[in-house]
Structure formats: structure tokens, C-alpha cells
Amino acid sequence: MPAPFHLAIAVHDLAAARRFYVDLLGCGVGREDARWIDFDLFGHQLTVHLLPTGGDGGANPVDGDAVPIPHFGVVLPWAEWQALAERLRGAVEFVIEPRIRFAGQVGEQATMFLRDPSGNALEFKSFADPARLFAR
């Protein structure tokens, strides 16, 4: 298994972050304090830190979508991505609806974008052929 990543992001409400990451995405909770929480985001460590404001750096065009910058996410197995997409439909407002990007090309992938309650953009993606994650 590859080494898990660690990412720390700002949130403006820890309770809203907990509801989003635990109740909606299904993350486990690790260590926590009055101003931060560690989440198990599909085997990776995501730490949310309480700060009054987040940030938005705009977007870049990718295969017809305005992809939010910055963003982070996880590459999931195909069936897990599909199950997550179904669980989120109707429960969140997508920035980019679940869809197939680069259809018929070497980089074909399933993708979806959403924001957490503090405005942090998340992308969840999957490849029918995981060996093509870095294919050109």
C-alpha cells in the first residue's frame, strides 16, 4: 500500500466539519482538540484546523469543467467511487456533478467535486484501469 498522505486545511466550524466528514463521507475520527480534528479520509490523515476564514483561489478549465483551485481529494476504487456518488446525490450541492472526464482517452476517469461546510473543495475520482493514474 502506498504511504498515506497528511493534509491540514482550515475550517470555520468544527461541528459542521465533523458532521460533513463523519456523517456524510463516512470518515473515522482520530485525535482531536478544541481547535482541530484528525479524520481518517479513506486511509489518509486529514486534519481540520479551526480558523475564521478559508480561501478560494478561483478555477482552471479541465475537460469543459471549471475545476476549483485549490482542491484535494482521493482516488477510490471504481465501485467505492460509484457508491459514494450515489450516497452524495441529493445530500450535497456538487461543484461538478459526478461524471466521466476524458472519455475514450488514456486519462479517462470518473470525477466529482463538492465543498465542505467551510468551502474547501474536494475531488473524488476513480479510474476503470487504476494503472492509468499517471498515464500520459
pLDDT in tens, 9-60: 989 999 999 999 999 999 999 989 888 999 999 999 999 998 866 555 677 7
- Could you check whether the bond before residue 52 is cis, i.e. omega within 30 degrees of 0? no
Common-topology check for domains 6-50 and 59-132 = no
Q: Which three cell numbers stand for residue 61?
A: 478549465
Q: Which three cell numbers stand for residue 82?
A: 460509484
Confidence (pLDDT) at 56: 58
Alpha helices in 39-109 (DSSP H): 78-88
Contact 50, 12 (CB under 8 A): yes
pLDDT in tens, 54-77: 555 677 788 899 888 889 999 999
CA atoms within 13 A on the CB side of 75: 14
Q: Is 132 exposed, middle or buried (0-12, 13-18, 19+ CB in 10 A)?
A: middle
The model's pTM: 0.84
Torsion angle, alpha carbons of 67, 49, 3, 76, to 10: -40
- Residue 56: C-alpha distances to residues 15, 30, 71, 118 (Å): 21, 27, 9, 11
What is the assigned CATH class of domain 59-132? alpha beta
CATH of 6-50, one of 3.30.720.120, 3.40.50.300, 3.40.50.1970, 2.30.30.280: 3.30.720.120
Domain boundaries along the sequence of the chain: 6-50, 59-132
Beta bridge partners of 109: 101
